[in-house]
A = this chain, B = another copy of it.
Amino acid sequence: MKVLIVGGVAAGASTAARIRRLDEMAEILILERDQYVSFANCGLPYHIGKIIPDRNSLLLHTPESLKQKLNIEVRTQHEVIKLHPASKEVEVKDINKGSTYKESYDKLVLCPGASPIRPPIPGANTPGVFVLRNIPDMDRIISQIDKGAKRAVVIGGSYIGLEVAEGFHAKGLHTTILEMSDRLMPWLDKEMTRILHFHVNSKKVDVKLGVAAKSITSKGNMLEIQLSNGEILETDVIVMATGVRPNVELAKEAGLKIGTRGGIAVNAQMQTSDPDIFAAGDAVETPHLITGAATLSMLAGPANRQGRIAADVICGKKSSYRGTQGTSVVKAFDMSVGGSGLTEQDLQRIGMDFRKIYLHPNDHAEYFPGASPMFIKVLFEPKEGKILGAQVLGWSGVDKRIDVFAMAIRAGMTIFDLEHLELSYAPPYASAKDPVNMAGFHGSNLLRGDIHLCYSEEFPECAERVTILDVRTRPEFDHWHIPGAILIPQTELRARIDELPKGKPIYTYCRSGVRSYMAYCILKQRGFKEVFSLAGGLMTYHGYHKTPLASGSAGYPVVTHAEDILAQKPGAVDHL
């Protein structure tokens, strides 16, 4: 059996290695148009800032090592330029020689990946303007820094944009992130990105939201970017991190089926519309685990596992891809953020009914040093409570909670199931009731009708027809409170309940939603009919509304007034 693999990075290298282990006698040939094979593409941004000091550590394999270890032939700088499915051949261009030749196959695996999108603006190709997808891209950016760059602009505020900005920042460049949408990490729900924004700002990285680059011009040794808001930025280096596009040209031209999202269409066995041609990685689209809708995952995990499945099937084993759930995480300076499953904007777009909760537990026992608050949002079905998605932001333990939620989603668990999880606990790592248990308690209360939430986006501003009740402490209230709110600390509520006007709905809130839940229980059971607790408290409210919360620092988000709002201990009773 002769297997040709087009592209030798994540999916391609995984496919090749797995085929070799399953079939020692197969002829395996990787054709890679770039200079490097199987490099650590996820590590590239980190070498820019020398967070990963050694460039060689990014080169996981060479054609020689793959030959030695796995008896795989690799031809780099050999670009497959045409497929001939009828004759089971491909046309290959030897980039160095400029010549072309044909190579036959029994099975062909397309792992061409994706290409960075360079926005089609004037000056997009000016020297000093880069994308970052492979080792030569990285080398070019580093070389520009080494020429003495002092200022950098990153266009795009998602994964790569944030990581590259951190790299520039680590090298001492004054860095600006331009993001066309209204938030960093646009795939997350907006309110979950606000603290991230403050945190990035606190590192003296400028973040400009809702602005696009209109054009780029070279001015002597520097670059000028004209922005959509009329502003002009001067800089020494620009990286465009505005997304990638699946490389489907070869497949398309060969008549293979392209899916609705523009990726190569494959079945669960990673087979294209030609049964002898497989595809895996960033170029394919796969069904979403929850919705079944076609999705482009563009993530390394699915790519590697898809390559493995293609290899299994090629070698005659039963193997199926079980769908993509979009689990991801990114480090942004001292914080981490990510999620799994669907977001609120996803659910709204597809018109799927949902309920949502927010919570802000500490990542580990409050009394053990280093505890920091987390920002958790969970979305679930309104009836059975099936978990649809979760987003997590924080300083520590974020990746762990994302993975626990990812497992719950993969297993089809409900919000009620989260109440019963038995997760590992010791004071340095968690609380006896883990944040994910807390999510289960809170969401179950909601679905069982034991709490009525009001959400920040609809929280009433006018205090005339409603009572807005702050149940925090006096110092917290004095720092900042929702305009029109009255203060009765939760601990005094029973004694002072008669101060509350009868007959008006009460909207109660606290810092994180715990004390206001206790207040809710008191009010509701002591005769107040219409009571609502602010979901996620002020920590979520800050994600929607302008408040004194203006910047961020490590450990606790915040500065000035909001510092104490957030650093304020919620009262240990939160943890009961």
Contacts and interface: CB of A to CB of B under 8 A. Distances in A.
Interface stretch (A64-72, A175-183, A474-482, A554-562): A64-72
Contact of A329 (B426, B517, B526): B426
A92 to B, nearest CB: 23
Interface stretch (A106-114, A126-134, A330-338, A457-465): A330-338
A145 to B, nearest CB: 20
Nearest to A47: B367
B399 A399 contact: no
A9 to B, nearest CB: 11
A429 B43 contact: no
Nearest to A320: B420
A430 B403 CA distance: 11
A494 B24 CA distance: 10
A530 B228 CA distance: 70
Given A23-B525, A40-B367, A69-B491, A422 B327 contact: yes
A433 B525 contact: no
Given A24-B525, A329-B426, A419-B305, A367 B43 contact: yes
Interface string A251-262: 000000000000
Given A42-B426, A46-B368, A424-B327, A60 B23 contact: no
A112 B518 CA distance: 26
Interface string A351-379: 00000000000000111110000000000
A400 B405 CA distance: 12
Contacts of A54: 367
A432 B304 contact: yes
Interface stretch (A242-250, A271-279, A568-576): A568-576
Interface in A518-539: 518, 521-522, 525-526
B573 A70 contact: yes
A402 interface: yes
Nearest to A341: B422
A69 B159 CA distance: 43
A384 interface: no
Kindly report how many copies of this chain are found in the complex they form together: 2
A60 B572 contact: yes
B38 A576 contact: yes
Contacts of A571: 65, 69
A52 B406 contact: no
Contacts of A70: 518, 573, 576
A365 B576 contact: no
A7 interface: no
Interface stretch (A209-217, A408-416, A500-508): A408-416
A430 B328 CA distance: 11
Contact of A573 (B17, B52, B327, B425): B17
Interface string A388-402: 000000000001101
Interface stretch (A77-85, A147-155, A295-303): A295-303
Given A46-B368, A328-B426, 19 more contacts: A21-B518, A42-B365, A42-B425, A43-B367, A43-B368, A58-B367, A61-B576, A68-B492, A70-B518, A289-B422, A304-B433, A305-B433, A305-B437, A317-B448, A322-B420, A338-B426, A340-B422, A399-B429, A407-B423
14 contacts: A21-B518, A21-B521, A24-B525, A42-B365, A42-B432, A69-B491, A159-B426, A321-B420, A338-B426, A399-B424, A403-B424, A406-B423, A406-B424, A410-B411
Interface of A: 10, 13-14, 16-18, 20-25, 38, 40, 42-43, 46, 51-54, 57-58, 60-61, 65-66, 68-71, 159, 289, 299-305, 308, 317, 321-322, 324-331, 336, 338, 340, 365-369, 399-400, 402-404, 406-408, 410-411, 413, 417, 419-430, 432-434, 437, 441, 448, 450, 490-492, 494, 517-518, 521-522, 525-526, 571-573, 575-576
